[in-house]
Amino acid sequence: MSFWGQLGFQDSFSALSSELIFFHDHAMFVLVLVSSFVGYMMVCLLKSSLSSRFVVEAQALEAAWTVVPGLLLLILAIPSVRLLYLLDEVGGPAVSMKAIGHQWYWEYEYSDGGKSVGFDSYMVGGMDVGSGGYRLLEVDNRCVLPYGVDSRVLVSSADVIHAWALPSVGVKVDAIPGRINQLGVHLMGSGLMFGQCSEICGVNHSFMPIGVEGVSPAVFYSWLMG
């Protein structure tokens, strides 16, 4: 999760989140490179008393400053499109979970293994958060997902538009009334992940956090059947 004063991203719990962070670093490298070059050229032109002394038509220069930006855009576009398709890929999920947004809490449903499990997840009040808990992020019932296998999350809403978002997993999907959106999740290890509704859904929008526990498949199925 994020802490105050943190400048970087949250630690990754999925391969997609790692890919998103890598693409951010890749784009920032290109941005710094271009900004440094443009700044250097601006300083050189401001300090020089002779501007374009020998440039008449300069077809080669025209071609260069057309082709080079085009190549830079390709360097950014190719990994961006690849990542966009990876984010939409669900694969062959071993587990399906349904998340339904309400004003202002989340409802979770599991129907795998021949048994249906459902519960509501409300934010724990500030006075009830125990030692080591996180204010405005702790919930009374966390949803559980196994790591090492593909999981599918089906997201919808019972009233207004919400958004189910887990930054450390690199996923965010809108919960729209009358529509079911899906996303693929593949956790890399066990841990506790926090998220929040990312669509302004009413007066208590800030008080419907998301709590997810990543556990081993054996523990998950034991919990589901128990």
Q: How far apart are CA 152 and CA 89, in angstroms?
A: 10
Q: 56 and 165: one domain? A: no
Query: Where do the H-state alpha helices sit in the chain?
Result: 15-47, 59-88, 217-225
CATH number for the domain including 132? 2.60.40.420
Residue 57 reports pLDDT greater than 90: no
On whether residue 194 sits in a domain, the answer given is: yes
Share the mean pLDDT of the chain: 87
Q: 84 and 104: one domain? A: no
Q: Spell out the residues 6+ positions from residue 203 whose beta carbon is closer than 8 angstroms to its own.
A: none
Whether the upstream peptide bond of residue 104 has omega within 30° of 0, thus cis, is: yes
Residue 18 reports pLDDT greater than 80: yes
Q: 66 and 109: one domain? A: no
Last residue of a domain, one of 88, 107, 138: 88
Least confident of 10-19, 90-99, 104-113, 128-137: 128-137
Q: 105 and 215: one domain? A: yes
Q: 108 and 218: one domain? A: yes
On whether residue 220 sits in a domain, the answer given is: yes
Structural domain including 203 reads: 95-225
Q: How much is the pTM? A: 0.79
Amino acid at position 188, single letter: M
112-135 tens-digit pLDDT: 767 788 899 999 987 777 777 788
Question: What's the domain count of the chain?
Answer: 2
Q: What is the pLDDT of residue 54?
A: 67
204-216 tens-digit pLDDT: 999 999 999 999 9
Average pLDDT in the 21-49 region? 89
On whether residue 8 sits in a domain, the answer given is: no
On whether residue 200 sits in a domain, the answer given is: yes
Of 176, 155, 150, the residue nearest 165 (C-alpha) = 155
